[in-house]
Structure 1
Amino acid sequence: MEIGISTFLETTPDPSTGTAISHAERLRDAVEEMTLADQVGLDVYAIGEHHRPDYAASAPAVVLAAGAATTKRIRLSSAVTVLSSDDPVRVFQQFATLDGLSNGRAEIMAGRGSFIESFPLFGYSLEDYDELFNEKLELLLAIQRSEKVTWRGGHRPAIDNLGIYPRPVQDPLPVWIASGGNPESAVRAGMLGLPIVFAIIGGQPENFAPLVALYKQAAARAGHDPSKLSIATHSHGFVGETTEQAADLFFPSTQYAMSKLGRERGWPPYTRATFDAARSLRGALFVGDPEFVAEKIVLLRENLGVTRFFLHVPVGSMPHRDVMRAIELLGTKVAPLVRQEIARREGRA
């Protein structure tokens, strides 16, 4: 069971002061987070691409490369790369370069993107949303498989037996499919035999069980062994010394960020009651003391069969010291509890 951190490198105003840190400071904080995550035994650190003023993560591979120089074992991933509005050749080159710098620790998490700012920025139409992703994923996987590529599509110039360099240390360079809960995404990932990541930020995680079943069924039909495929989830959360302390620290910035997104997307107001309901044992918020967060991750393993869990922290801007302490507790307290309990239950079975 792998446990790690995901982040969008938020730069929203601190609710207590009304001021926001600079993009440059948040980027430097991310390198410190990666370094600590590596030191405390976490397995992966992932950065999601965004092109907005309230996030500093428009170039995840560059930030991850900075972290590669200060870490030794932790895996470094995007979360996600918005493949639909990017060039698969450049995506592969950037992450192959990261793979070389980190000596084989890079991963690409490819998604269509729930935020759409990159489409007009890079000259793509949202009318081609699905077609762009399908075509560019096809090209990315062709590059993953072969040094020399011949390919033709409708949204990018053709490639005629050209080499793509550098080649990564890992063969193949891992490519994950990221999904917010779309059944078509689960089926696509299964048919391709690719690992999948589900973003679970609302409702009950156990409700994703039918999507996991779809994924495994599609994999089996395509001739892949479902037992060998990795399944990850990503959920908002925070680890504190006590459950109430964790909730009180995490709520203000989360409310600010979620309310801002809610106004953009037509969601209802994000209240403390909404927050408290979501941090119940079967809710989607992984907020609490180490024992409670570990219990929720073990339950997630039982219900969905996940092999990797991402704690997305923070959601809105929080003091850097609080984020670092949450990462420390996740690595030194939560992860050992989860692994011990899984070993006990599955060893006994």
Structure 2
Amino acid sequence: MELGISTFVETTPDFQTGKTVSHAQRIREVVEEIILADQVGLDVFGVGEHHREDFAASNPAVVLAAAATQTKNIRLTSAVTVLSSADPVRVFQDFATLDGLSNGRAEIMAGRGSFIESFPLFGYDLDDYEELFEEKLDLLLKLQQSERVTWSGKHRPSIQDVGVYPRPVQDPLPIWIGSGGNRESVVRAGLLGLPLVLAIIGGSPRQFAPLVQLYKQAAVHAGHDPEKLTVASHSHGFVAAETDLAADQFFPSTQHVMNTLARERGWGPYTRSTFDAARTLEGALYVGDPDTVAEKVIHLRKNVGITRFMLHVPVGSMPHDQVLKAIELFGKEVAPKVREEVARWEAEQK
């Protein structure tokens, strides 16, 4: 069971003062968070790509590269790369460069993107949303598989027997498919034999268990060994010394972000009762003391089949020292409990 952190490098106003940290400051803080996550023994750190004022990381590979030479073991991934509006050649080159800097710890998490700001920014039509992703994923996988590439498509100029450099340390460079729970994307990942990441940020995580099974069925259908495929989840959460403290610290910034998105997307308001309901064992928020969070991650592993869990923290801007403490507790106290129990449970299954 791998455990890690993900972030969107949020720069929302502080709920008490109304002040907003600069993009530059928040990016530097995230580098510190990655270094700490490595020091406390976490397995992976993911940075999400966005192109809007309240998220500071438009290029995850650059942020991750800043931490690459200051860390030793932690894997460094996008979370996600919005492949539909990106150039796959440049994406591959950026992460191959990161792979070199980190000596083989880079990963790409490719997704279609639930935020659409990058499409007009880079001149793409949202009517081509699905087609863009399928075509660009096809090119990215060819780049992963071969040093020299011949490829043609509709939305990007063709490539005729061209070498793409630098080459990564890892062969192949890992490429994950990120999904919010869309059946088509889950099946696509299974048919391609690619590892899958599910964004489990609402409802009951148990609802994703059939998707995990569908993914494995698609993999078997295509001739892949499902036992060799990894299924990860990314979920909002926070760890503090006491559960009530964790909830009280995490709620205000989470409510701010969720209500901002609610206004943009026509959702209902995000309330404290909504938040507290999601903190129960069957909910999708991983908020509490180390024992509480560990229990929920173990529950997820046993009931959904997730083999990598990424705690998304913060949601909205929080004091940097609180975020660092949450990462420290997750690495030093939550992770050992989860790994020990999952190892014991897996041994019983054999």
User: TM-score, normalising length from structure 2?
Assistant: 0.99
What is aligned with 1:283? Answer: 283
State the superposition RMSD in angstroms.
0.5
What is aligned with 2:176? Answer: 176
Paired AA for residue 67 in structure 1: A
> Separation in 2 of the partners of 1:69 and 1:319?
26
Matches within 5 A, 1:45-124: 45-124=45-124
SS of the equivalent of 1:55 reads: coil
What are the Cα deviations for residues 83-142 of structure 1, in whole angstroms up to 9, with x where unaligned? 000000000000000000000000000000000000000000000000000000000000
SS of the equivalent of 1:72 reads: coil
What is aligned with 1:323? Answer: 323
What is aligned with 2:165? Answer: 165
Paired AA for residue 12 in structure 1: T
What is aligned with 2:198? Answer: 198
> Separation in 2 of the partners of 1:259 and 1:151?
43
> Separation in 2 of the partners of 1:339 and 1:73?
17
What is aligned with 2:30? Answer: 30
Matches within 5 A, 1:250-261: 250-261=250-261
SS of the equivalent of 2:3 reads: strand
> Separation in 1 of the partners of 2:116 and 2:256?
21
What is aligned with 2:151? Answer: 151
What are the Cα deviations for residues 11-67 of structure 1, in whole angstroms up to 9, with x where unaligned? 000101111100000000011000000000000000000000001010100000001
> Separation in 2 of the partners of 1:69 and 1:101?
6
What is aligned with 2:233? Answer: 233
What are the Cα deviations for residues 193-238 of structure 1, in whole angstroms up to 9, with x where unaligned? 0000000110000000111111000000000001110000000000
What is aligned with 1:244? Answer: 244
> Separation in 2 of the partners of 1:185 and 1:346?
28
SS of the equivalent of 1:13 reads: coil
Deviation of 1:69 (Å): 1.7
What is aligned with 2:208? Answer: 208
Deviation of 1:348 (Å): 2.6
Paired AA for residue 260 in structure 1: T
What is aligned with 1:298? Answer: 298
> Separation in 2 of the partners of 1:286 and 1:162?
46
> Separation in 2 of the partners of 1:221 and 1:259?
42
> Separation in 2 of the partners of 1:31 and 1:217?
39
Identity of aligned residues (%): 72
Paired AA for residue 298 in structure 2: V
SS of the equivalent of 1:5 reads: strand
Runs of 4+ in 1 over 6 A off after TM superposition: none
> Separation in 2 of the partners of 1:30 and 1:288?
22
Paired AA for residue 321 in structure 1: D
> Separation in 2 of the partners of 1:115 and 1:176?
19
Paired AA for residue 56 in structure 2: A
Note if 1:6 corresponds to 2:41: no
Deviation of 1:339 (Å): 0.5
> Separation in 2 of the partners of 1:345 and 1:302?
8
Stretches of structure 1 that go unaligned for 5 or more consecutive residues are none
> Separation in 2 of the partners of 1:343 and 1:56?
37
Deviation of 1:334 (Å): 0.2
> Separation in 1 of the partners of 2:295 and 2:2?
15
Paired AA for residue 213 in structure 1: Q
> Separation in 2 of the partners of 1:202 and 1:339?
25
What are the Cα deviations for residues 149-178 of structure 1, in whole angstroms up to 9, with x where unaligned? 000000000000000000000000000000
User: TM-score, normalising length from structure 1?
Assistant: 1.00
Deviation of 1:298 (Å): 0.4
Paired AA for residue 268 in structure 1: G
Paired AA for residue 166 in structure 1: P
What is aligned with 2:308? Answer: 308
Paired AA for residue 345 in structure 1: W
Deviation of 1:307 (Å): 1.1
> Separation in 2 of the partners of 1:23 and 1:282?
35
> Separation in 2 of the partners of 1:124 and 1:160?
24
Paired AA for residue 331 in structure 2: G
Equivalenced residue count is: 349
